[in-house]
Each structure stands twice: as C-alpha cells, then as structure tokens.
C-alpha cells in the first residue's frame, strides 16, 4: 500500500525553517483537518488551494508532490 502524502511530508519536520518544505510539514502537522490518509493529487491540491496560507503554499506542495511521486509513484 502506498504511503499517504501526509506521512511522507512529516519526514520534513524539524528541518531548516528557511526551507518551504519544512514550513509546509510543520503547518500540515498542526492542521487537524489535513487529509492525512490521502494519496490523491486532486484531493490534496484542492485542499491546499482552499487552505493556503504563508506556510501551506501551493509552491511547496508542488515540490513535495514531485518528490513524493518520485519515491512512491
């Protein structure tokens, strides 16, 4: 079974705060409504576009999604 995007993103927690992937991971961790079981690009991108803020950005999501797909695709 494919690892959820959320679990993959958590691997970026605790990194350099200057890295947008780290900030995205920390924000996703604190967001109790984040779709934690999802591995669907459509569901996740829609959520990010709706909930976007200064740390949960679409740019960071796109970069993380590319890495996620490379690893688990």
Structural domain including 11 reads: 5-72
- Asked if residue 1 has pLDDT above 70, the reply is no
Q: Residue 24: which CATH number?
A: 1.10.150.260
Please compute the mean of the pLDDT values over residues 25-46 and round it to a whole number.
96
Structural domain total, the chain: 1
DSSP state string for 3-70: PPHHHHHHTTTTS-TTSHHHHHHHHHHH-TTS-TT---HHHHHHHHHHH--SSS-HHHHHHHHHHHHH
- Asked if residue 31 has pLDDT above 80, the reply is yes
Global pTM reads: 0.92
Please compute the mean of the pLDDT values over residues 58-65 and round it to a whole number.
96
């Amino acid at each position: 079974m494919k690892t959820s995007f959320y679990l993959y993103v958590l691997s970026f927690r605790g990194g350099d705060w200057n890295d947008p992937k780290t900030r995205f991971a920390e924000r996703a961790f604190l967001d109790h409504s984040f779709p934690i079981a999802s591995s669907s690009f459509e569901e996740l991108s829609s959520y990010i576009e709706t909930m976007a803020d200064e740390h949960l950005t679409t740019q960071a999501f796109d970069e993380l999604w590319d890495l996620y797909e490379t690893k688990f695709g």
